[in-house]
Structure 1
């Protein structure tokens, strides 16, 4: 699949509104509907405000990083993966591509879990989204979307733009209704999130929300991933920032306004999607139904966007000879066939893993966030390296100081998130990364090159050791899913 407009008779590039809709569509999915409960389980109003401020600033710095890299490195497509490879070498670049792809696939499982949990109110056999019946029906859905996307990437992108508009309506209606129904005494009682709140306790509360905020902001790089389709290169950065700011306002409003409707302990005990429970307490059963319909539309739209992005990363990596050549195959509609097959296959496999999870939604949410952190860290680190070394600034020196500060903050923020995530999900991530290295080995052999450099071999050994520890931990019971 060549860059937009380079083939004779090719369709024109994607315009700014569609790119922005893809960013918003990528981020507004299952996460927003789970925010009231997830935040109430961790903190009160004060902690939520501080958490969104930290997450907003940190992710805004990351959005600016993608904006800067899109302009200064216009030859690098597929965003996250391409930046990691250019900055840190072949194997870390592979890790970024594979980890980002795996994160997208696991994230898509959360969508199916939440859809079936929502429908479980009507169809008890679906339970909370991880029963045998729920997994079987979800698997049919996975492959239905698979064949729809095979009809063409640009057609699927335009469908996503329509879905993005449709799914925002119930969320905006929720914000208006809850804002009108807000009770000052309830909001005040939820202010501190616990008795005798200290600075240390507040920090712990905020830290407990970090993986949730990462999950809901996944997709901030969506326009960068689709950069090769953009009508104008500058639109990639504009779409990233515009989409991010819109979604930040949406997420913060849903979270904070909910504290004015129900006491914190009741918010924390709501069934997911907890936005439905909040609206039900105000408007009755139809409120939960409205959110349920909005969630299904929203999640299916986000699923479409993330499946597109996941396949695109594998496809571009294969075109750049950083994944096996078979992943670069396309059909007559320019859809990356084998990359889509591998994507749908991993989603299906993780769906079956949820049968053994105590809390399938929370497990897949946190694993998705953990898998995304290494690719984000490498992208931020690459932007920091460019600013420090002055690469690309010799002909366009303006803004180097600002870019250095932004990249440093983004790098610090993503490193902090890795620490906040703790060792559990890093170890579980190794179970995915270690066997995934088979694709790297195949790629290097196809090119007749040495598989690992000494430093890369050390990194591979570390990942294998982490995978072994994780498997032992799962068997022994000190790691759980």
Structure 2
């Protein structure tokens, strides 16, 4: 069997950046304006900026303190807190990634619907019609074949798509800078028209900001495929910094182009409405095309992550053994097929129920809360166990507190939902453990 194909720093950084900067950024202005005023949004971004940089620091230091651990999300939880915690982290992350890619397909075809649908003839709608289902399924299995041919080729295509999708975002920031009005930005900064307490406004921004940063772990998940171990942490930090600059710029500049209430009333993708306000229908088309390219690039990133996690977990007995088998290109066909079939089933449910992108965001984000918290907690355990420097201990403690804050901010509904989705995973885990023990005893 050939050795798994290796990925360099630039491609790794593009994977991290692309997996974070997907569909969410194009709806970010409306999503934030709907739940918070300017002051709460600034506070939310401050908390998120610090928290997500601390989390990136956890991945950076763990990749150096534990260079022998590949797979990140699963292996950190398993090594630090046992097999059950490792499996729950892997299962939660796999569901987050898989449900997230369903959302990417749905929103991509919703954006196409903005071009071709009319009040008399709805073809793609919100991405949940029969024609949308057919188109989404075709893309799903085309990408399945691409990733089956090898991670390196798929990652290179993702790099090109990432460069392409940055152009409309940069154009938006430049136009919004010139159209920015301080009086508009400062009007009702406290968000009194929302009639919501300040702390509730801040909490309301948390799942939104977490969703747009989901994917920070991309270089860690694919760490076994990195050309150089030092590139893993660098790619994570670079991707986070680039994404953070984009997110904060787009959110705050938008609130100086239109009032908070007007931005909140926009249809998603709200960046298209803002571009139409600034430059007419041409700008709206540019943003909509950018959304389609961005979403498909992020979809490619997340499919690679989704296929990697069951394969890594199977190597340690948490998933059935056959998920660990790889083809000559270093891809696990069983793991990739599991992910693709799950996505296909979710697309069927979306078509039948008529649910949209926002529902998928809630489900996907709720599943990543525990895995992220365990990463910070593992660095704390390692830092104190190895008497590491106080700055590493502080990063681990800060990231753990950020993880607990996210769980609190998500609320009871998100916790109940994630708990229900973890239950079938435990059945898979105990079945896999029994089979692995039987094989071990037989040999």
Could you tell me the TM-score, scaled by structure 2's length? 0.94
Match of 1:187 in 2: 185
- Structure 2, unaligned stretches of length 5 or more? none
Match of 1:342 in 2: 338
Work out which of the residue numbers 163, 172, 175 in structure 2 matches 1:174: 172
Match of 1:293 in 2: 289
Work out which of the residue numbers 133, 155, 176 in structure 2 matches 1:157: 155
CA distance in 2, matches of 1:374, 1:54: 18
Q: 1:258 to 1:358 in 2, by over 3 A?
A: farther
CA distance in 2, matches of 1:168, 1:425: 32
Match of 1:236 in 2: 232
CA distance in 2, matches of 1:133, 1:343: 22
Q: 1:208 to 1:356 in 2, by over 3 A?
A: farther
CA distance in 1, matches of 2:181, 2:161: 33
Q: How much has 1:46 moved relative to structure 2?
A: 1.6
Match of 1:467 in 2: none
After TM superposition, what 4+ stretches of structure 1 lie above 3 angstroms from structure 2?
355-359
- Structure 1, unaligned stretches of length 5 or more? 451-481
CA distance in 1, matches of 2:186, 2:376: 38
Q: How much has 1:190 moved relative to structure 2?
A: 4.9
Q: 1:163 to 1:131 in 2, by over 3 A?
A: same
Work out which of the residue numbers 386, 398, 404 in structure 2 matches 1:409: 398
Moved more, 85-94 or 435-444: 435-444
| RMSD (CA atoms) | 1.9
Answer yes or no: is the 8 Å Cα contact 2:321–2:436 preserved in 1.
Answer: no
Does 2:299 align with 1:303? yes
Answer yes or no: is the 8 Å Cα contact 2:36–2:194 preserved in 1.
Answer: no
- Counterparts of 1:7-26 in structure 2, within 5 Å, are 7=3, 11=5, 13-26=6-19
Work out which of the residue numbers 313, 320, 326 in structure 1 matches 2:322: 326
Q: How much has 1:135 moved relative to structure 2?
A: 2.7
Q: 1:333 to 1:389 in 2, by over 3 A?
A: closer
Q: 1:43 to 1:187 in 2, by over 3 A?
A: same
Does 2:423 align with 1:437? no
Q: How much has 1:357 moved relative to structure 2?
A: 5.6
Q: How much has 1:125 moved relative to structure 2?
A: 2.0
Query: 3-state DSSP class of the match of 1:259?
Result: helix
Match of 2:309 in 1: 313
Match of 1:453 in 2: none
Match of 1:428 in 2: 417
Query: 3-state DSSP class of the match of 2:367?
Result: helix
Paired positions, count: 434
Work out which of the residue numbers 362, 366, 384 in structure 2 matches 1:370: 366
- Counterparts of 1:44-443 in structure 2, within 5 Å, are 44-121=37-114, 122-123=116-117, 124-195=122-193, 201-355=197-351, 360-390=356-386, 393=387, 397=388, 400-443=389-432
CA distance in 1, matches of 2:435, 2:141: 30
Query: 3-state DSSP class of the match of 2:257?
Result: coil
Q: How much has 1:358 moved relative to structure 2?
A: 7.0
Deviations 1:30-64 (A, max 9, x none): 11111011011011222211111100100110100
Answer yes or no: is the 8 Å Cα contact 2:185–2:255 preserved in 1.
Answer: yes
CA distance in 1, matches of 2:435, 2:217: 30
Match of 1:473 in 2: none
Could you tell me the TM-score, scaled by structure 1's length? 0.86
CA distance in 2, matches of 1:37, 1:195: 16
CA distance in 2, matches of 1:411, 1:120: 41
